[in-house]
Amino acid sequence: MKGFSVRKKLEEIKKQGRKAFIPYIMAGDPDLEDTLRRIKMLTDAGADIIELGVPFSDPLADGPTIQKASDRALNAGVTLRKILKFLQEFKEEIQTPVILMSYLNPVFCYGIEKFFNDASSARISGVIFPDLTVEESRIYMFYAKKYSIDTVFLVAPTSTPERIKKIARSSTGFIYYVSITGITGSELILDKAFKEHIDYVKSFGKPVCVGFGVSKPKEAAYVSQFADGVIVGSAIVKMFHEKPEEAYEFIKSLREAIK
């Protein structure tokens, strides 16, 4: 059985008049058993799609909160191979589409086609490679299509119209709009230019989901007015680590804020 389709899920949500809530957690932080519990909690709290991070020692885009989560997972011995095996084992218990966010090095070492084959077997719905440019994505796009896995590429506020067009063409799941020119967990600046640029990206006909910097319900509510989905990462990772007893209510408040 194939995994869920990210694009179809977003189309379904749109038909319902809703906006997608996409929380992020780090796989293996603090271990894979807790990861399964957290995936189920996110689903219960209203997650539409779950972004699952693969720990990596040298991240480019992650801020300190996610870097620390990655370090905890790596120290626990978690690897891409173990994550895929874990997802394969528990795929019947996971009822929400999962997008795997990984830097290229672990995937390259794993073997590109083997990765997509195993990801498909584990019902991975989509992939995000933050250090993969569209110009270098041909082989990844080929295997993603072969194994029915959606691709998600990132657009920044500084992306040119020509580049946005290329990214829109290559993104089969949605376009990930990086709301800040910085790292995850940075402060989000909500202004007229921000909204206008997202409207422009949406004009290319692909769903646009906004992440990086969204950490509070009021920010999620604002972004959901014009994005197709809202991605929240660092704030959730931090809550699970520092105040796990409050995590469910916090996640629920984000879901309720996203109209």
Using CA atoms, how far apart are residues 168 and 179, in angstroms rounded to an integer? 16
30 prior amide bond cis, ω within 30:
yes
Which residues 6+ apart lie within 8 Å of 20 measured at CB? 9, 10, 13, 48, 49, 207, 209, 228, 229, 230, 258
d(CA 142, CA 151): 10
Is 51 catalytic? The answer is yes
- How many degrees, rounded to 5, is the angle at CA 215 between CA 171 and CA 203? 30
- State the catalytic residue, choosing from 51, 118, 219, 228: 51
Q: Which member of 29, 48, 62, 118 is catalytic?
A: 62
**Structural contact between residues 206 and 213, judged by C-beta atoms closer than 8 angstroms:** no
Q: Count Cβ neighbours within 10 Å for each residue of 68-99 and write b for 16 or more, e otherwise.
A: bbbebbbeeebbbeebbebbeebbeebebbbb
Place of tokens 């931090």: 238
Contacts of 40 (CB under 8 A, 6+ apart): 93, 94
How many other β-carbons are positioned within 10 Å of the β-carbon of residue 242?
Answer: 10
Beta bridge partners of 25: 52
What residues act catalytically? 51, 62
